[in-house]
Structure 1
Amino acid sequence: MRAMHISSEHPQIPGIVDDLANQGWSHQAIFLPEALTRALAAECRQRAEQGELAPAAVGRGQGQEVREGIRGDHILWIEPGQSEACDHYLALMDGLREALNRDFYLGLEDFECHFARYPAGTFYRKHLDRFRDDDRRTVSAIIYLNEEWAAQDGGELRIYLADGSERDIPPVGGSLVVFMSADLPHEVLMAHRERLSVTGWFRRRGNDPF
């Protein structure tokens, strides 16, 4: 992976900032280079095969429970130093964090993210990314890792816009979706083949009762 020397000053960051200012969300059709997208996808699959991804829960703290009728993805949280590919991605996201703070004064302190694998036949019902009792998640960011995704594969991210309209975004490899966590309800439509992503949140300081 020595060919993947990627600056945190990504050329599409100004466009993301403009989109968030104007409409509260942004979709960048090509954000990651192909080599990094493939490396992240390979790591996600390898860790899934090793049993490291766990069924995702809903709720927080002691109220967490796995409810496949609401969401069916399996996840693994990403930590710095986990792999070269993950560190490249975290560096890009830190560059975006700095730009968001510079332009919006959001006070974003960190970025948490996880691999998400949706087996065929799974989905995630409509929800918001910010918890009722924890306002730290401020901006959501999802990067997709799927090669040659076709319309019949399903798995679109459906976002519900403030004007009452909906927008469906296919999870095409290398594409990025960013949106304000508290403002846009969204769901993952049923995937008809394995669907991979890295899902994350830029967080500000807040009160966490747990």
Structure 2
Amino acid sequence: MTAHLTDALLERGWVVDTTLFSREDVAALRVACEAEWRDGKFHEAATGRAEGQRRRAEIRSDSVLWLDEARPSPALSRYFAILDEIRVAVNRQLFLGLHDLEAHFAVFPEGTFYKKHLDRFRDDDARTLTAVLYLNEAWQPENGGQMRLYLDEDCTDYRDIEPEAGTLALFLSGRFWHEVLPARCPRLSVTGWFRRRNESLPW
């Protein structure tokens, strides 16, 4: 089930999949995300980590809700189970030593964005593989909100990934710059990062 993912990650470091999560899986996650949003449980996203965290709306303007794997809903249990299958498969073929997953719901209200960045803190290289699952039913290109994944070091070659429900994007966190283009209507996703224990990475 995951061989095509690991093959692509081994070959080029990124992959987009539309097969692992069923329509029912995605619908359940969307309902859960929308319910938490209505209940006011999200907070404005920040940049940096620990004491260095700051809200910088000129860089990112989304809101997030961190997920607790120890107390998941049925929808999130399914999400965590599938992501763990990916972790095991990637470790088996790519030897990345992925240990755990941190994840959050992300909501981009109309007009919000996230400027070009890496998913790796300057002083911590634990985040190794990024996984973004989109929850937006019947999303159209004119709605904006695409993730622009830069494929080269100069950030001249890129692929725009539509945030359509059931689309899962995986890429090496410290290697690929990316951004979220301005959304023209509310955009929902689950974003996760597989982490490893050791600090030195080969790229």
**TM-score relative to the length of structure 2:** 0.94
Residue 158 (structure 2) pairs with residue 160 (structure 1): no
Map of 1:20 onto structure 2: 9
Identical amino acids, percent of aligned pairs: 45
Q: Offset of 1:22 from its aligned partner?
A: 1.0
- 1:92 match: secondary structure: helix
- Structure 1 runs (4+) deviating above 6 angstroms are none
Q: Which amino acid aligns with 1:44?
A: C
Given that residues 152 and 158 in structure 2 are in contact (C-alpha distance below 8 angstroms), is that contact kept between their aligned partners in structure 1? no
**TM-score relative to the length of structure 1:** 0.91
Q: How many angstroms apart in 2 are the aligned matches of 1:66 and 1:110?
A: 26
Unaligned regions of 5+ residues in structure 2, if any?
none
Map of 2:28 onto structure 1: 39
Unaligned regions of 5+ residues in structure 1, if any?
1-10
Q: How many angstroms apart in 1 are the aligned matches of 2:185 and 2:19?
A: 21
Map of 2:82 onto structure 1: 92
Q: Which amino acid aligns with 1:63?
A: G
Given that residues 134 and 206 in structure 1 are in contact (C-alpha distance below 8 angstroms), is that contact kept between their aligned partners in structure 2? no
Given that residues 20 and 82 in structure 2 are in contact (C-alpha distance below 8 angstroms), is that contact kept between their aligned partners in structure 1? no
Map of 1:5 onto structure 2: none
Q: Offset of 1:72 from its aligned partner?
A: 1.1
Given that residues 125 and 187 in structure 1 are in contact (C-alpha distance below 8 angstroms), is that contact kept between their aligned partners in structure 2? yes
Q: Offset of 1:49 from its aligned partner?
A: 0.8
Map of 1:58 onto structure 2: 47
Among candidates 60, 68, 79, match of residue 71 of structure 1: 60
Q: Deviations over 1:28-58 (max 9, x none)?
A: 1343101110110111111011110110100
* Count of residues in Structure 1 that have an aligned counterpart in Structure 2: 196
- 2:191 match: secondary structure: strand
- 1:100 match: secondary structure: helix
Q: How many angstroms apart in 2 are the aligned matches of 1:35 and 1:29?
A: 13
